[in-house]
Amino acid sequence: MSKKLIAFYSRADENYVSGTLKYLDVGNTEVAAGIIKDITDADIFKIEQVQPYDKSYNKCIAQAQADQKRDARPELKAYPESIDDYNIIYLGFPNYWSTMPMAVFTFLEHFDFSSKVIKPFCTHEGSGLGRSERDIKKLCPNADVKKGIAIYGSSVLRSKKDIEKWIEED
């Protein structure tokens, strides 16, 4: 039996949804991670920064952009003790300027993903997966990075069928 882990980054608080600023109690990627959990019963881990980005959307944008520009590796609150037992990792993140938030880079550099299957899932507002799959391959050169799924943040509650189909793909 293959053991599965859902590792995801997600930010609640103020965000743009279909062109307007809204306050989200649960981030879009976290909703998608919950759907994957319901389907697969995988273990689940939330990637969290020691210093989270601001609750204000505009401040968050400035902070996240600064981190991306300087190729930062934000410190994480915690890590799973080990990923040795997992064969499949569902890796979730919001699209931040065509790639993943820098905290996901921190997470991927922390472990050796050799011979693991990584299935990326991303929520976005128009840019899809961007270059995230390529970036994951660069960070985890010996992992088997499968085709990712891109879900519109505003449609995440209606995405279960698409997610089910994607999980069944090899």
Write out the residues near ligand FMN by the rule CB under 6 A. Answer: 10-11, 15, 24, 27-30, 60-61, 64, 94-98, 123-127, 153
Q: How many CB atoms lie within 10 A of CB 95?
A: 22
Beta bridge partners of 49: 76
- For ligand FMN, which is the closer residue by CB, 144 or 162? 162
Minimum CB distance to ligand FMN smaller for 87 or for 127: 127
Residue 130, token pair as written in the block: 């961007």
Is the Cβ of residue 3 or residue 158 nearer to ligand FMN in the bound state? 158
Q: How many CB atoms lie under 10 A from the CB of residue 17? A: 15
Nearest to 49 by CA among 5, 7, 104: 104
* Least distance in angstroms from the C-beta of 40 to ligand FMN: 19
Helices (H) and strands (E) in the chain, counts: 5, 8
Residue 157 Cβ vs ligand FMN, minimum distance, rounded to whole Å: 12
Shortest CB 38 distance to ligand FMN, Å: 17
Which residue's Cβ has the minimum distance to ligand FMN? 153
Nearer to ligand FMN, 56 or 114 (CB): 56
**CB within 8 Å of 150: residues ≥ 6 apart:** 95, 122, 123, 124, 128, 129
Question: Helix 132-139 vs helix 102-110: angle between axes, to the nearest 10 degrees?
Answer: 30
Give the shortest CB-153-to-ligand FMN separation in angstroms. Answer: 3
Nearer to ligand FMN, 33 or 108 (CB): 33
CA 115 to each of CA 21, 89, 145: distance values in angstroms, whole numbers, following the listed order: 41, 11, 10
Least distance CB 154 / ligand FMN (angstroms):
8
